[in-house]
Amino acid sequence: MTALKQAVETAFAFQDEAGIKQRIVVFTESIRTQQYMFEELSHAGYEGQILKFNGSTNDPVTKQIYKAWKARNYGKYVGSRNVELKNAIVEAFRDEYKILLVTDSGSEGLNLQFCNTIINYDLPWNPQKIEQRIGRCHRYGQKNDVVVINLLNTQNVADKRVYEILSEKFELFQGVFGASDKAIGLLESGADFEKRVTLIYQECKTISDFTKQFKDLEKELEKKRNKKMDELKSIFIYKTEEQHKSHFNIIMKEIAEYDSQFKYWNSRSIEENEIYPKCCETNTELEIPGIQHGYLLIGGSYVDEILEDAVFEIIDITGKIYGVSDDLARELCEKLQEQCLEEKTPNNQEILSYIDKVDEFMQQKYAESKRTVLIANQKKLDNWLQLKKRGIFAQSQRYIRIR
């Protein structure tokens, strides 16, 4: 607690000197510890400047903040009650309070990019949980360097060793986004690392036992790190110079092609007085490989008023869709001059059926292009779910012991 008070005082002094709004987030895993910090900091001269949040609405101050927020935002739909509550807490901390005491469960979904200082009163053993804490402030919209202060019992050998691994092996406090990806690369998931550390704490009784077990854990991490490095080296070492040149030339060709396409399409424009949608028929042969008759659909795919994607697709009279490459699109635009087009009244039912098919085709194409992102996010969601399950199980175990 003495160290916490010093950290708060130092952080406020730094923010004041740097012209940064005085705001600090203090993390703890325990609600009882949260209350203890609230009482001690209040007695230390910060009374009325501290807000605590753990996801519950039982606290009278939280209830009052939420009620006032509802009144200010009457008639607006923001989301579920939980989302509204977190919005209310974030706004109150931003506008009225200097210190936010928060638990891991309470911090989920809080966007605190207006605050640049985080104090970890206690550190969880899961690297991903620590990164999530830092990510509350270290996110898009943050205008200042984020300062992370970790409080550590230097007399506890096991705690010191855990901190060294988190800091040096996972590089959690080096200002790098995506540290959890590094953790996953070394130990499948942060929960695995947490489980290993828990076993060490449960099984070891002496300093020498702790030292031996943590050395073994570090060797395992280093072995996995070296394996990743070998995989990376193989990409460079086991390819010939000609293969590298060929790969480089392909990249340069793609860049040149992109640059050419960008300049061309950026120069295209729609006449202001044109009325859309419109239907035209060509009176000349376009010579499109594999198709004699059909439709070329040109336009935009919108969600409300937001343009999601450009539409430039060919569909023949049988309903078969031909993906249009950039080169073919450019060639067709050159051929489709005004003298080649005659405005026609479309068969709306027929056109709508073609539009529906192209819309489905574009959705599938978009989903396919995002497949790797979806798979990566699914893994993150699965890992998050496992963490939540273990957290709930751990809480239930503590509840049983207390009762």
- What CATH code is carried by the domain that includes residue 34? 3.40.50.300
pLDDT of residue 132: 85
pLDDT tens-digit map of 68-99: 998 888 877 777 788 888 999 999 999 999 99
**Which helix H or strand E contains 172, and what residues bound it?**
none
Say if CB 119 and CB 96 are below 8 A apart: no
Indicate whether 11 and 142 sit together in one domain: yes
Indicate whether 283 and 399 sit together in one domain: no
For the ranges 26-35, 105-114, 239-248, 259-268, the maximum mean pLDDT occurs at 26-35
Indicate whether 359 and 388 sit together in one domain: no
pLDDT band of residue 115 (cuts 50, 70, 90) is very high
Q: At what angle do helices 326-335 and 241-266 cross, to 10 degrees?
A: 30
Indicate whether 313 and 324 sit together in one domain: yes
Domain boundary among 151, 175, 193: 151
Residue 181 maps to a domain: no
Indicate whether 16 and 133 sit together in one domain: yes
Number of domains in the chain: 3
For the ranges 40-49, 54-63, 132-141, 206-215, the maximum mean pLDDT occurs at 40-49
Domain boundary among 151, 181, 203: 151
pLDDT band of residue 271 (cuts 50, 70, 90) is low
Residue 266 maps to a domain: no
Chain length of the chain: 403
Q: Please, is 146 exposed, middle or buried when counting C-beta atoms within 10 Å of its C-beta (0-12, 13-18, 19+)?
A: middle
Residue 71 maps to a domain: yes
pLDDT(103) > 60: yes
More confident residue, 359 or 17: 17
Domain boundary among 151, 184, 202: 151
Indicate whether 67 and 86 sit together in one domain: yes
Place of tokens 């007695």: 43
pLDDT of residue 174: 61
Q: What average pLDDT score do residues 239-256 get?
A: 80
Q: What average pLDDT score do residues 17-28 get?
A: 95
Indicate whether 359 and 403 sit together in one domain: no
Provide the domain limits for residue 401. 370-403
Indicate whether 285 and 397 sit together in one domain: no
Q: What average pLDDT score do residues 324-339 get?
A: 78
Percent of the chain with pLDDT over 70: 83
pLDDT(403) > 50: no
Indicate whether 397 and 334 sit together in one domain: no
pLDDT of residue 235: 62
pLDDT tens-digit map of 194-220: 888 888 888 888 888 888 888 888 887
Q: Which two tokens stand for residue 177?
A: 């986004």
Indicate whether 113 and 91 sit together in one domain: yes
Residue 209 maps to a domain: no
Place of tokens 């300062």: 147
More confident residue, 396 or 371: 371
**Which helix H or strand E contains 196, and what residues bound it?**
helix 190-203
pLDDT of residue 169: 67
* pTM of the complete model beyond 0.75: no
- DSSP code of 117? E
pLDDT band of residue 44 (cuts 50, 70, 90) is very high
Say if CB 35 and CB 136 are below 8 A apart: no
pLDDT band of residue 180 (cuts 50, 70, 90) is very low
Say if CB 53 and CB 102 are below 8 A apart: yes
Residue 212 maps to a domain: no
Indicate whether 124 and 36 sit together in one domain: yes
Residues 6 or more apart from 182 whose CB is under 8 A from it?
A: 170, 171
pLDDT tens-digit map of 131-167: 888 889 988 889 999 999 999 988 888 888 888 887 7
If phi over 0 gives left and psi between -120 and 50 gives alpha, with beta otherwise, what is residue 120? Answer: beta
More confident residue, 145 or 186: 145
pLDDT band of residue 325 (cuts 50, 70, 90) is confident
Indicate whether 344 and 384 sit together in one domain: no
